[in-house]
């Protein structure tokens, strides 16, 4: 059993030592709680559990604390992919729900598993998800001051369970001040992908991740026989060719954990019950 989570890039918001230490503490706490959860749950259930905790922490740009778009509204995206079923589900640009990843989880049982905007919100309402504003005062202040982030904020989790099943979940609150209708990578296979060989969750500039096909490309290369390290290396070389900005976390079917970023610093934490690693 192994698990790795990410909380976007450190440069996404405040870069003070205080913020760094707070993110390290939060990621460690969430990784430990999620690993305990993993002991008695599947990888798919665990990645949703972990991402829900990340969405509930205003330190990260997902769920509570999501960025505000150019028209003053918050739109969020999230997805889930399970190696056991090879199903992908997600919501794109959903508004006024506390945990988009839980809506993505609910969609896993549907034939139409990726919903956007008002359709996603209507589905959430019909399935008991309460109307909830994820706006916090910091994001409103940034918006009013027109302090534009560079769009690197996402959270995600990849897990390997005791049965050898892999899963990945990813959630984002957007890049801030984007045009309404803009679609990120988080609810696409470029940003979140898993099969029986490897699972990957990405963060960074969504347009770059989609252009590179990052998550699906890494997983495909591991499936075709490359080690997870070499799959990352080749994919990030191609990302560099388009001057792309991204980070990714992964676990393969052998239990190898890997992470890489094109620019410093992706915030992450991994835990296998014995060894704990965290960004510095």
Residue 20 CA to residue 31 CA, distance in Å, equals 16
Task: Determine contact, residues 131/94, Cβ cutoff 8 Å.
Answer: no
**Identified catalytic residue from 46, 154, 170, 235:** 154
Instruction: Please give the structure tokens belonging to residue 205.
Output: 């500039």
Known catalytic residue at 154 = yes
Picking from 162, 159, 182, the residue whose alpha carbon sits closest to that of residue 67 is 182
Angle at 102 between CA 100 and CA 103, to 5 degrees: 65
Reading the block at residue 149, the tokens are 């982030």
Contacts for 204 with CB less than 8 Å, ≥ 6 apart: 9, 152, 154, 185, 244, 245, 246, 247, 261, 262
Q: Which residues pair with 250 in a beta bridge?
A: 200, 258
Per-position DSSP letters for 189-224, written without gaps between them: TTTEEE-SSEEEEEEE-HHHHHHHTHHHHHHHHHHT
The residues that are catalytic are 154
């Amino acid at each position: 059993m192994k698990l790795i989570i990410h909380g976007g890039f450190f440069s996404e918001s405040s870069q003070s030592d205080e913020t760094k230490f707070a993110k390290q503490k939060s990621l460690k706490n969430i990784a430990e709680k999620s690993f305990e959860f993993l002991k008695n749950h599947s990888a798919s259930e665990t990645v949703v559990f972990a991402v829900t905790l990340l969405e509930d922490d205003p330190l990260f740009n997902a769920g509570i604390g999501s960025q505000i778009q150019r028209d003053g509204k918050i739109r969020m995206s999230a997805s889930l992919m399970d190696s056991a079923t090879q199903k992908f589900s997600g919501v794109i640009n959903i508004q006024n729900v506390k945990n988009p990843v839980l809506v993505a989880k609910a969609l896993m049982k549907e034939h139409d598993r990726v919903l956007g905007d008002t359709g996603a919100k209507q589905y959430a309402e019909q399935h008991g998800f309460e109307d909830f504003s994820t706006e916090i005062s910091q994001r409103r202040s940034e918006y009013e001051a027109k302090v534009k982030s560079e769009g690197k904020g996402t959270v995600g989790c990849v897990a390997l369970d005791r049965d050898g099943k892999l899963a990945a979940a990813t959630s984002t609150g957007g890049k801030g001040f984007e045009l309404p209708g803009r679609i990120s990578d988080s609810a696409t296979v470029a940003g979140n992908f898993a099969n029986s060989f490897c699972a990957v969750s990405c963060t960074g500039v969504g347009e770059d991740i989609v252009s590179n096909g990052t998550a699906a490309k890494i997983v495909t290369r591991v499936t075709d026989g490359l080690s997870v390290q070499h799959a990352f290396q080749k994919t990030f070389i191609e990302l560099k060719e388009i001057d792309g900005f991204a980070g990714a976390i992964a676990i393969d079917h052998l239990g190898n954990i890997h992470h890489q970023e094109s620019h410093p610093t992706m915030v992450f934490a991994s835990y296998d019950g014995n060894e704990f690693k965290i960004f510095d």
